[in-house]
């Protein structure tokens, strides 16, 4: 529908990130900016590979993040290990449905949705699909935006650990699940960063040609 858009990559041109100098690409070599020496690349290097690697790591860590306890509560009366899901269930059964839904969304659904979204983006980019490119770009922007808000749980646990520390009376400490969960969130953010959204649009000329 649209005329073929011109892109720097199609012209064989590179833009330096540091000094903004435009330079010509030398094929089959690692390019450097002729002015400041910064690494130059047409697209984020190994974007898909990195995205895939980080995605797989995030998927793997997602399992312990949900199965292992994120918070260990010890008081004189009882000791308890809470996983994310047990917390959600506790909130739900104790009547705090809005809070339960919020925690469930923020801690279970959103990270998973992010992972699935990134996977879809990576798959389509790999297959050089031209399917709903605009929506995919929008999706990517959302993923990148949401990323920093997924650490809610970790913030709660960190706060609790810091606040509730009455030695013999009651102590809260972070469980191994918290580490896994934090890793999932961070790795997902890196995965989103390493994904080059330009790849979504790259296949177009090919299709049109």
Task: Note whether 34 binds other proteins by CB under 8 A.
Answer: yes
Q: How far is CA 204 from CA 34, 103, 132, 192, in A?
A: 31, 40, 11, 22
Cβ at position 149, least distance to other proteins in Å: 22
Tell me: does residue 44 bind other proteins (CB under 8 A). Answer: no
Of 55-63, 91-99, 128-136, 142-150, the window that binds other proteins (rule: CB under 8 A) is 55-63
DSSP string, 98-136: HHHHHHHIIIIIHHHHHHHHHHHHHHHHHTT--TTHHHH
Of the ranges 48-56, 94-102, 111-119, 138-146, which one interacts with other proteins (CB under 8 A)? 48-56
Contact status: 91 vs other proteins (CB under 8 A): no
Residue 57 binding other proteins, by CB under 8 A? yes
Cβ 71 to other proteins shortest distance, Å? 15
Write out the binding residues for other proteins, residues 58-87 only, by CB under 8 A. Answer: 58, 60-61, 63-64, 68, 76-80, 86
149: tokens are 């808000």
Rounded Cα distance, 203 and 41, in Å: 18
56 is a contact residue toward other proteins (CB under 8 A):
yes
Among 85, 113, 139, 198, binds other proteins (CB under 8 A): 198
> Please, which residue, 30 or 168, has the CB nearer to other proteins?
30
Separation of alpha carbons 193 and 14, rounded Å: 20
Kindly report each contact of residues 53-61 with a partner whose C-beta sits within 8 Å and lies 24 or more positions away, as own/partner.
54/187, 54/188, 54/190, 54/191, 54/194, 55/115, 55/118, 55/119, 55/122, 55/188, 55/191, 57/183, 57/187, 58/115, 58/183, 58/184, 58/187, 58/188, 58/191, 59/115, 61/180, 61/183, 61/184, 61/187
The residue from 133, 164, 176, 193 that contacts other proteins (CB under 8 A) is 176
5 binds other proteins (CB under 8 A): yes
Q: Shortest gap between Cβ of 159 and other proteins (angstroms)?
A: 25
State the residues that interact with other proteins by CB under 8 A: 2, 4-15, 21-26, 28-35, 37, 40, 46, 49-50, 53-54, 56-58, 60-61, 63-64, 68, 76-80, 86, 176, 180, 183, 187, 194, 198, 201
């Amino acid at each position: 529908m649209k005329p073929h858009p011109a892109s720097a990559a199609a012209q064989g041109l590179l833009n330096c990130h540091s000094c903004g100098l435009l330079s010509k690409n030398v094929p089959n070599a690692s390019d450097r900016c002729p002015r400041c020496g910064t690494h130059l690349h047409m697209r984020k290097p190994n974007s898909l590979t990195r995205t895939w690697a980080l995605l797989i790591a995030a998927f793997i860590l997602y399992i312990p993040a949900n199965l292992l306890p994120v918070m260990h509560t010890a008081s004189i009366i009882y000791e308890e290990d809470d996983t994310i899901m047990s917390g959600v269930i506790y909130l739900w059964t104790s009547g705090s449905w809005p809070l339960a839904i919020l925690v469930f969304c923020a801690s279970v659904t959103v990270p998973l949705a992010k992972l699935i979204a990134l996977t879809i983006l990576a798959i389509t980019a790999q297959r050089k699909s031209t399917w709903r490119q605009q929506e995919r770009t929008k999706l990517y922007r959302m993923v990148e935006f949401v990323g920093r808000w997924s650490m809610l749980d970790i913030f709660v646990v960190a706060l609790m650990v810091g606040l509730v520390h009455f030695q013999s009376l009651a102590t809260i400490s972070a469980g191994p699940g918290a580490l896994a969960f934090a890793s999932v969130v961070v790795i997902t953010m890196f995965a989103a960063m390493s994904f080059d959204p330009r790849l979504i649009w790259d296949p177009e000329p090919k299709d049109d040609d």
